[in-house]
């Protein structure tokens, strides 16, 4: 009888608490948007980019690329491979950043090197540069030397 009561109590608690084992930052097969705490970095994850729900978070880090123009951010879980390109948007117009838009390049860490994301796009109406990535890593902006 005690076992039935315990099992029944657990079932009620699970129902009341919800059955979703992931937290508020979870993005699933339907896609979603994740924004850094300071609002500078945004990931726009399209539908189909993930097969399952994943807790995607962004944290500011001290690791900076050569020629850094602003803070860098680690997208976690690091190394997540996306099934479709994820749009990475960086707001370089945040307070304290004085940046020439033509110099801005999004870069992503890979192994011990920083690589430019090749499909860089400057947004006309906002101080935002964007590009796409197929995996999560550390992202930053640096001087565009092309």
CATH number of the domain at 24-143, please?
Answer: 2.60.220.30
The predicted pLDDT at position 101 comes to 86
> Would you place residue 79 in the very low, low, confident or very high pLDDT band (cuts 50, 70, 90)?
very high
The token pair at 70 is 């602003």
Strand pairing report for 72-76 and 138-143: antiparallel
Backbone dihedral region of 93: left (phi > 0), alpha (psi from -120 to 50 degrees) or beta? alpha
The residue ranges of every structural domain in the chain are 24-143
pLDDT of residue 2 exceeding 50, the answer is: no
**pLDDT for 6:** 38
- For 125, other C-beta atoms within 10 Å of its C-beta total 5
Q: Cβ neighbours of residue 140 under 8 Å, at least 6 residues apart?
A: 64, 65, 68, 70, 71, 72, 73, 106, 107, 114
């Amino acid at each position: 009888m005690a076992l039935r009561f315990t099992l029944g109590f657990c079932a009620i608690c699970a129902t009341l608490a919800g059955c979703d084992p992931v937290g508020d930052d979870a993005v699933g097969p339907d896609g979603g948007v994740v924004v850094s705490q300071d609002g500078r970095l945004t990931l726009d994850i399209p539908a189909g980019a993930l097969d399952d729900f994943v807790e995607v978070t962004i944290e500011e880090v001290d690791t900076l690329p050569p020629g850094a123009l602003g803070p860098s951010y680690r997208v976690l879980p690091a190394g997540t491979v996306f099934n479709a390109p994820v749009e990475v948007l960086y707001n370089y117009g945040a307070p304290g950043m004085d940046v020439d838009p033509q110099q801005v390049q999004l870069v992503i860490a890979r192994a011990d090197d920083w690589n430019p994301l090749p499909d860089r796009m400057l947004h006309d109406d906002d101080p935002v540069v964007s590009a796409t990535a197929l995996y999560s890593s550390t992202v930053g902006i640096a001087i565009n030397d092309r």
